[in-house]
Structure 1
Amino acid sequence: MDIGTPVFGPELLAGMVSMSRVITFLTDFGSFYLSQMKGVILQRTTDVVFVEISTDIPPQDVRSGAFALMVASRYFPQGTIHIAVVDPGVGTERAAICVESGGHIFLGPDNGLLMPAARSLGSPVAWILDVPENASPTFHGRDIFAPAAAELICGASPEDIGTPFEPEDLDLGSPRVFANGIEVDVIYVDNFGNVVLNMSELPERDLMLMGRRLRRVRTYGEAGWNESLITLGSHGFAEIAVNGGSAAELFGISTGDKILLEDVSCSE
């Protein structure tokens, strides 16, 4: 065999992906509860690939969960089922839903969590799921969404398990331009303390935040140690960071905050 020939050619790899049955998970409740959801699915089928997008979304932070699901889901093959549970309204009147978009299926609460991801992949169509009488009022992930995923992975269609429904949306918003700068929303804070904004383009010059200059850079290493910066992250959104530090801690910023990025010329 030619040493330069790959063991797995592109045709074989494509076939392996198409044969895979993938279920992803995104939650705010850690691995203990997630293991029960996996167990429910494995009672129905073991021919499934589990992928954990995240189990440590900040508790009850729907906006952070929606952003993480939107960014991650685009890298999975069509046919993937995504279970997302960040659900401060569990057990209340909020609906349990299934959403199909772009060949992907999303299962989760009707609180907007699923919709940015679904909209980013195509034109979402949604169904409301029945709540079994024996479902725990505090754990719909195990008793509604995991069984639904098992049915779908075994060949059921969304029409088989739900009724057409108009879901609640969640809009991450867009920047608002003022004479002295740009007002933006914080939509995610990662483990490094980098602050992700609902802005997909960077101004051509440095900016100011709370009296500190944000150096406009291509990557973190272009800034000095402990220097504040703004860059376009791998997810396609602007993010504020501190090289070697935490921007969230330095500026006291959390998801959902509105901040004003001032034009340097207005601050000097």
Structure 2
Amino acid sequence: MQRSSERSIITLLSDFGSLYPAQMKGAILSRARDAVLVDIAHDVPPQDVRAGAFALMAAARHFPAGTVHLAVVDPGVGTGRLGIVVESGGHTFVGPDNGLLIPAARSLGVPEAWMIDQVFFEGASPTFHGRDVFAPAAAALASGAAPSSFGPRISPKELQMGSAEISEDWMEAEVVYVDGFGNVIINATEIPWDVVILAGRRLMRARTYAEAGPDEPLITIGSHGFAEIAVRGGSAEGLFGLAPGDRILLERGNCSE
């Protein structure tokens, strides 16, 4: 339980770019002036719920219990999709019920979810629930409101990152995120071979980026625990032309290659 002398932490994640997050922050600070606001990311690829879920999952675990996580990647804004509050591992999440919150919540514990009652949507812009519904909800949670006070308990929509399919000589995986360096993160948590080939190019298996030579492609297990394709001093996204959602085939190479 948060002590009264501590300032509440609210994280923010969205696909809104540079303009709209300030409006969400204003809505929060109008209701919880002392809240500490921390941006996770606002450059999630537009409407890419899975990429947003990955970014939230990678970041949320590094915040203390009691943190409120406000996340909005919401292609269904203004439709019949629900808004939800999720509690897990001492953290609280608020946002749309489209799976965005669930991987992060599951990484911290066993999630419990409540629907945000429609009364909270009255007067809200049908195109900006992040500002008019979820930001006020986050402020209320940071100020001590119970998740159950927003509405009835529900089973939230699930979202899975999936897992790579691995055989003796190949691995089929999916790109789940591309970071600001152009590093390509895939839904694999292991690198099964010493030599890996992607699109005819050898990927150096490395522990750090610096182990590769200049402009050399590599594969490593990133700080998030997933396999990551990178280029030292360059962009794996640009080199291989990859984007979130792409399926890729990694092949086992020979040590002599």
Both proteins in one fold, TM over 0.5: yes
CA distance in 2, matches of 1:267, 1:36: 56
- In structure 2, the partner of 1:50 is 37
- In structure 2, the partner of 1:75 is 62
Q: Do the aligned residues in 2 keep the contact of 1:96 with 1:109 (CA within 8 Å)? A: yes
Q: Displacement, 1:209? A: 0.5
Structure 1 residue 89 corresponds to structure 2 residue 109: no
Give the direction of change, closer, same or farther, for the CA distance of 1:165–1:255 in structure 2 (3 Å limit): same
SS of structure 1 residue aligned to 2:148: helix
Residue from 112, 137, 141 that aligns with 2:126:
137
Q: Which amino acid aligns with 1:112?
A: G
Structure 1 residue 35 corresponds to structure 2 residue 22: yes
**Once the two structures are superposed, what CA deviation does each residue of 1:204-232 show, in whole Å capped at 9, x if it has no partner?**
41100111111101111111111111011
Structure 1 residue 227 corresponds to structure 2 residue 223: no
Q: Displacement, 1:31? A: 3.4
Q: Do the aligned residues in 2 keep the contact of 1:229 with 1:240 (CA within 8 Å)? A: yes
Q: Which amino acid aligns with 2:139?
A: A
Counting only pairs closer than 5 Å after superposition, residues 147-226 of structure 1 correspond to structure 2 as 147-226=136-215
Flag as ranges the 4+ runs of structure 1 deviating above 6 A: 15-18
Q: Do the aligned residues in 1 keep the contact of 2:181 with 2:235 (CA within 8 Å)? A: yes
**Once the two structures are superposed, what CA deviation does each residue of 1:111-133 show, in whole Å capped at 9, x if it has no partner?**
11101100000000001112322
- In structure 2, the partner of 1:102 is 89
Aligned residues: 254
Q: Which amino acid aligns with 2:122?
A: E
- In structure 2, the partner of 1:12 is none
Q: Displacement, 1:43? A: 1.9
**Once the two structures are superposed, what CA deviation does each residue of 1:236-256 show, in whole Å capped at 9, x if it has no partner?**
111011111111111111101
Q: Which amino acid aligns with 1:86?
A: V
Q: Which amino acid aligns with 1:214?
A: L
CA distance in 1, matches of 2:95, 2:51: 15
SS of structure 1 residue aligned to 2:110: coil
SS of structure 2 residue aligned to 1:30: coil
Q: RMSD in angstroms over aligned alpha carbons?
A: 1.9
Q: Displacement, 1:17? A: 11
- In structure 2, the partner of 1:111 is 98
- In structure 1, the partner of 2:9 is 22
Q: Do the aligned residues in 2 keep the contact of 1:78 with 1:104 (CA within 8 Å)? A: yes
Gaps spanning 5+ residues in structure 2: where?
A: none
Q: Which amino acid aligns with 1:151?
A: A
Q: Do the aligned residues in 1 keep the contact of 2:45 with 2:51 (CA within 8 Å)? A: yes
**Once the two structures are superposed, what CA deviation does each residue of 1:75-107 show, in whole Å capped at 9, x if it has no partner?**
111010000001111111211111000000000
CA distance in 2, matches of 1:186, 1:97: 27
The percentage of aligned residue pairs carrying the same residue is 61
CA distance in 2, matches of 1:195, 1:248: 6
